[in-house]
Amino acid sequence: MKKTIILLSILSLTLVNQSCSNDYLDTKPTEQIAIEDLLNEYNNNEGAESFVTAIYSKYLDWNISSFAWIGVSSITSDDADKGSSPGDSGSDKDVLDALTFSSTTPSFQDVWEGHYQAINRANQALKYIPLLDKADASLKNRLLGEAKFLRAFSYFILVRSYGDLPLVDKVFENTEDDRAMVFTRRSKADIYAFIEKDLQEAIDALPDKSAYSGNNIGRASKGAANALLAKVFLYEKKWQQVVDKCDQVVGYSLTPNFQDIYKISGENNSESIFEIQGKGGPGQPGIQQYSQVQGARGAGGWGWGFNTPSQSLVDAFNVEGDTERRDATIIFKSSTLYDGRVVPSTVENNYYNYKAYSSAYTGDDDSDANIRYLRYSEVLLMKAEALNELGQTSNAATYLNQVRNRAGLANTTANTQIEMRNAIYKERRLELAMEHDRWFDLVRTGQAQAAMAANGKVFKVGIHEVFPVPNKFILEAKGLATQNHGY
């Protein structure tokens, strides 16, 4: 059967669908479909689900969740170093580590394209699912909510990374207006407003996490949409809205033992709000080399050795006496891991990322370790930060202390608003270390210049608050878009 193809190279806006199976992640993109085939081939529950399956599966890809994103979100920060062997640049991980990157640094293009590919798949779902009149109406409503959540999730990552963005809110149809949509950068304010709208509509459509079971575990839920919207409000400094949304994240609890969160057995547990699901192994959909690129390198190792925890991070744990979270975040030479694996002294780096460790890793490229993106502990810390900014410092301590106490630490001694602010910032670093948030936290809180200087890096104020837009995009825009200042 002849297929109609819609393509725009920089954003890879192809009309892609997924085949179906019993597991909503157990698929890979297989074909491009013609609109005229839609009602014949996809007009049923499985067909409707396949459009959303395509979005979830995109988050397993190399260019959206793996090497480039690890470099952009983690190696840039003071929590991590490039790692690996001194002579192995990892394509561009050395310049990301040194903050000497440019608009032609490959990782920025990968992250940009990967998320716009996910956004395009969400746009396809939102356009075509309503046309499937033989699919169950309640299922379609939930699937549309999932698509809006995932679209908002990708836009949130992009706006934090690049600032002003093209707002692609529908399937590209190769018109002049659509070309302008794809290549004209809209203001951050416009993007945040769009994210807020998508998430509020997702909240209205999605069920609680408890409604999912079996192969549906891990799908976007009402709690995930509320938590992500609270985080969006945090970045916008809409403090009361942060509190309001955190209050609506219900049905979750802290995992008593911090290390248990990051074991395979701890995936999607009571603290988990949203994770990228990776199964891994022969015939299983895993996150492409997420664990492999961060595994211990050298004699007796099991990976490439990139994104190693920095001495700055180790020292931050030690200053607080925070051994429980330190030892669940950082793999040390000669230590014995929770599954009995002994890390030999012959590996090349002193430290590795424990949170990316997969105990079932057997050399398969694709990781079965999930990426934790939203946890209940962060909801508590967001609420604490917002309450403190609203002048309710003593109330803020209540939520901060829940996180500290779980880590075996005493209640905070912070009394003033400034002391509490700094205490919360420190707690976010230790609690969320190596979880792809540190760089963005430093930028949004104004700590980046000092933190980078303390780690031997130069953060250029007025430039490094956003990353460069990929040069390939600027060239293809042909005057419709300009580069971020300083690049």
> How does pLDDT run across 395-409, given as a tens digit for each residue?
999 999 999 999 999
**Gap between the Cα atoms of 87 and 349, Å rounded:** 13
Reduced to 3 states (helix: H, G, I; strand: E, B; else coil), residue 106 is helix
Q: Using the 8-state DSSP alphabet, how is residue 469 labeled?
A: P
User: Which residues of the chain are in CATH 1.25.40.890 domains?
Assistant: 1-206+459-487
- Whether residue 6 has pLDDT greater than 50: no
- Whether residue 415 has pLDDT greater than 70: yes
**Gap between the Cα atoms of 398 and 385, Å rounded:** 11
Buried b (16+ CB within 10 A) or exposed e, 372-388: bbbbbbbbbbbbbbbbb
Residue 43 class from Cβ within 10 Å (0-12 exposed, 13-18 middle, 19+ buried)?
A: middle
Q: What is the pLDDT of residue 33?
A: 56
Of 119, 152, 135, 130, nearest in space to 228 by CA:
152
- Whether residue 25 has pLDDT greater than 50: no
- Whether residue 338 has pLDDT greater than 70: yes
At residue 8 the predicted structure's pLDDT band, cuts being 50, 70 and 90, is very low
Q: What is the pLDDT of residue 340?
A: 94
- Whether residue 41 has pLDDT greater than 90: no
Q: How many CB atoms lie within 10 A of CB 283?
A: 6
CATH entry, 1-206+459-487, from 1.25.40.890, 3.40.47.10, 1.25.40.10, 1.10.569.10: 1.25.40.890
What average pLDDT does the segment 285-306 reach? 93
- Whether residue 127 has pLDDT greater than 50: yes
Q: What is the pLDDT of residue 173?
A: 84
Q: What is the pLDDT of residue 279?
A: 78
Joined together, the tokens standing for residue 13 give 């806006």
8 A C-beta contact, residue 368 and residue 283: no
At residue 35 the predicted structure's pLDDT band, cuts being 50, 70 and 90, is low
Buried b (16+ CB within 10 A) or exposed e, 396-411: bbebbbbbbebbebee
Strands (E), 205-284: 272-276
- Whether residue 26 has pLDDT greater than 50: no
Q: What is the pLDDT of residue 29?
A: 34
Q: What is the pLDDT of residue 174?
A: 82
Residue 282 class from Cβ within 10 Å (0-12 exposed, 13-18 middle, 19+ buried)?
A: exposed
**Gap between the Cα atoms of 187 and 350, Å rounded:** 43
Beta partners for 429? none
Q: Using the 8-state DSSP alphabet, how is residue 32 labeled?
A: E
At residue 24 the predicted structure's pLDDT band, cuts being 50, 70 and 90, is very low
What average pLDDT does the segment 129-140 reach? 96
Q: What is the pLDDT of residue 22?
A: 34
- Whether residue 299 has pLDDT greater than 60: yes
pLDDT in tens, 467-482: 999 999 999 999 999 9
Of 330, 290, 333, nearest in space to 310 by CA:
330
- Whether residue 273 has pLDDT greater than 80: yes
- Whether residue 11 has pLDDT greater than 50: no
- Whether residue 37 has pLDDT greater than 90: no
Task: Tell me the pLDDT of the chain averaged across its residues.
Answer: 91
- Whether residue 18 has pLDDT greater than 50: no
pLDDT in tens, 362-399: 556 777 889 999 999 999 999 999 999 999 999 999 99
Q: Which residue has the higher pLDDT, 281 or 179?
A: 179
- Whether residue 360 has pLDDT greater than 80: no
Q: Which residue has the higher pLDDT, 446 or 5?
A: 446
**Gap between the Cα atoms of 64 and 402, Å rounded:** 33
The pTM assigned to this predicted structure is 0.93
pLDDT in tens, 85-117: 999 999 999 999 999 999 999 999 999 999 999
Q: What is the pLDDT of residue 10?
A: 33
What average pLDDT does the segment 8-26 reach? 36
